Chain A
């Protein structure tokens, strides 16, 4: 039963919707007729989402509540994009234990929590698309005190592959996008972008690359399961 506000529209839930990547994804989906629900600690521009939830992705109960609210208000969730991200660099041993834990609980835990909150109803409906996000640093390694971050976000790849296999037979497609060093217009906003120069592609990765990949997976990606897409403009080949 579709809620009043999402009538006739496909429904997407985006975590990290207030960030550079989440906002680009929200904007792309919103512009092409999706009803978009956003989750973050900082709200995105109101024009990009139909509903916003101020919630912490590391809080499993909070995400379960968000998922239920989205279903009630907009209708069944067709697409989940997990883009909440916590980045900090520090040499090993130099990061406070609580900060490391926080990074793991947002980057890995936030992904797991969102999937646990949303996917059971997709399995029941026997359809749905999930796109998780990781970083090119998880593939290439980071040079500048990024071992903590790379570990926390790289775990998303292992989670995605196994979870994808778990739910593929139920018609739910789970894949991952590795975000490259990104030209966000906000230096330092994303992991690893400072100091990266466009080399092969004449430009850095763009948030729109991620947004277009999400749209492709939602529209035409039914034969992709457990893949890691790398629209990183040649940062990792």
Chain B
């Protein structure tokens, strides 16, 4: 018996990294997980298969509102109303502010922030019919303190904090609880973007980050997934409504 037996969960951006670890963790606790990824490919289907027979791949580019509506409808049709939403998908490009092409900058906004506004908008009616729901939004410590060469990404992550806290207030009274996770440096494929920006091999990037973290290491996707699973618990979600948890190894000068 798992804590999430029979619960339908949708995890966006789950083809890799934190999203993948979260899909696997929730499935391991008994949830029927819809595994969203931008592209309908073997990688996404492999994650869904790894989650188990009760789970499904749910491809959609969340930056496209029609795709989002279609995806959520398909999930509800196949698995039932979504009780747990993990809003995790994110794009990140790093460039100095004045050098970043406007479309690259806005692409991040359209996916990370706009995409999740659409996803949440499509999922909440089902939660209302169900009479309950939990939304866990994955933001970033860069959304709290900002980061050089990451203005677009940081803006979207900061916007997600305001979005999550507002939804916590707005939807809480009807039993739909929103909370947030702001991971620090986590060992995911996204670190390759950081390494490219710094002009360093990935290994070197890991080492440099680890030196700056009080815990002396970078985090793992599974650790962030554990926090998300904790916040997704029906007994815990109301306690943490509107809160931001910071698994960041002690970057406490950049915590909410």
Which residues of A approach B to under 8 Å, CB–CB? 161, 164-165, 168-169, 173, 180, 199-203, 205-206, 208-209, 212-213, 216, 220, 222-234, 237
Contacts and interface: CB of A to CB of B under 8 A. Distances in A.
B175 A202 contact: yes
Given A200-B169, A212-B235, A223-B247, 13 more contacts: A169-B216, A200-B168, A201-B238, A202-B173, A202-B175, A216-B230, A222-B223, A223-B223, A226-B214, A234-B172, A234-B238, A237-B241, A237-B243
Nearest to A162: B252
B249 interface: yes
A98 to B, nearest CB: 34
Contacts, number: 102
12 contacts: A161-B252, A164-B214, A168-B216, A200-B172, A202-B238, A220-B230, A223-B223, A223-B249, A225-B214, A225-B249, A226-B252, A237-B169
* Interface residues of B, dominant DSSP: loop
A230 B230 CA distance: 14
A200 B173 contact: yes
Question: A-B pairs with the 5 shortest C-beta distances?
Answer: A225-B250, A237-B242, A200-B172, A231-B239, A201-B238
B198 interface: no
A161 B230 CA distance: 23
A51 to B, nearest CB: 29
Contacts of B248: 223, 225
Interface centre among B184, B219, B227, B252 (most CB of A within 10 A): B252
Nearest to B251: A225
Contacts of B255: 226-228
B245 interface: yes
Interface in B153-193: 165, 168-169, 172-173, 175, 177, 184
Given A202-B172, A234-B172, A225 B215 contact: yes
Contacts of A234: 168-169, 172, 238, 241-242
Interface in B212-250: 214-216, 219-220, 223-224, 226-227, 230, 233, 235-236, 238-243, 245-250
A5 B175 CA distance: 44
B236 A209 contact: yes
A164 B251 CA distance: 11
Interface in B82-105: none
Nearest to B225: A220
Interface centre among A216, A224, A232 (most CB of B within 10 A): A224
B173 A199 contact: yes
Nearest to A200: B172
B247 A200 contact: no
A223 B215 contact: yes
B173 A168 contact: no
Contacts of B226: 216, 220
B239 A206 contact: yes
A230 B256 CA distance: 11
Contacts of A205: 239
A225 B223 CA distance: 13
Contacts of B241: 200-201, 233-234, 237
A230 B173 CA distance: 19
A208 B250 contact: no
Given A165-B214, A168-B214, A220-B230, A227 B252 contact: yes
